[in-house]
Chain A
């Protein structure tokens, strides 16, 4: 073989430019290994073309380095789970400059990539939507329960307001007679008041101070009409502690009021020995 002729054939330039087929490449490599002149020529062409490329180095736009490296990172991470391993040439048949088959492979790879990217994007966006939906749903439940709580509170407040309004109306009403009930020797220092409207028959009781009754016992209010005791109802816990003014049973006529300690639920007639407070109408 005429080495000079081979060198001048232009095949070495094509080798460096990467335009040879695999078979032609292998042939060039074999000959370069065998002939120093060919190797030197090959090196010279390589250096010349690398130098020519370097001379074209261009000032990149601002921020390109970061964008390109970030893009690369995102691409290799995105692709990794889809295309598990990159295609690797067999060790024995390594292609130094894979160029001739590039265009077709590139479009195939680009499609795989696009699909991988699309699938990944879809998964990511679905995940984000799902999470957002879950969060929104949890927030809604929380808001509904706090709304219910507020409504319940409002009802309680409303009731108390109605009650207080009624109480206030009662205190301001001249038709009510106030009866001061004072402690008996059974409960010295005990104090309560009864507000009685003889026209409407309404009776309210208001406690200032009453000793706590024994377990299982309750205070019962009695109206005394001509000395005869009439049941006026049981005092609620809140009434007994002074927290509320309680509307009792209607009483047609009375001259005095008294409270006794009775078994829970009340008695038909008062246990006089347990009388705690007593007061007469003026």
Chain B
């Protein structure tokens, strides 16, 4: 079964976007029920602390609400747009934290989300993390995780992993192909 974000809950993405656009506050509850756990999981994967992840999620909801008029349906799906907002806030959070501590990066491996089972109630038919990461080879996974959860640009990944930029781009594309195939 194809995995699309519009199937997350009974309300369509279009209806939800409309309600958010007319500043219907109750739509935020619908939004949360539709995307909350997924967004929380991504944020948690980045900030790694449950309490902080919850703070970032709340901050993200406020940001989404306030900047909703800048969301343009023709230029991307709602889920991608909100994912980027959440990722950016979470990455800001760890960067300010790392800035304080003085370390450049933290190992991405020991994420709580990796050993935490995805809740089955969320989406019974969705593909589990383990299945996905098993299909990605470690090199692909390293690159995609740095790009997606580390907030690195492709050049920064190249620098970090001491690889040519072309290799990084190839690995990233390969990883995305694997993921796309799994989802289709």
Contact = CB atoms under 8 A, between A and B. Distances in A.
B161 interface: no
A60 B92 contact: no
A73 interface: yes
Interface residues of B, number: 74
B4 interface: yes
A76 B71 CA distance: 18
A55 B145 CA distance: 13
Interface string A24-37: 01000100000000
Interface stretch (A13-21, A205-213, A268-276): A13-21
Interface of B: 3-5, 25, 28-29, 32-33, 36-38, 40-42, 44-45, 50, 54, 57-58, 61-63, 65-67, 69-72, 75-77, 79-81, 83-85, 87-89, 92, 95, 112-113, 116-119, 122-123, 126-129, 131-132, 144, 147-148, 153-154, 168-169, 172-173, 176-177, 179-180, 182-184
A68 B61 contact: yes
B85 to A, nearest CB: 8
Given A68-B32, A94-B75, A103-B92, A55 B127 contact: yes
Question: Secondary structure of the B side of the interface?
Answer: helix
Interface stretch (A40-48, A232-240, A245-253, A256-264): A40-48
A183 B33 CA distance: 99
A53 B83 contact: yes
Interface string A78-101: 010000001111000011111100
Interface residues on A, range: 35 or more
Nearest to B44: A58
9 contacts: A18-B87, A48-B177, A48-B180, A55-B118, A61-B54, A65-B32, A72-B62, A87-B67, A107-B92
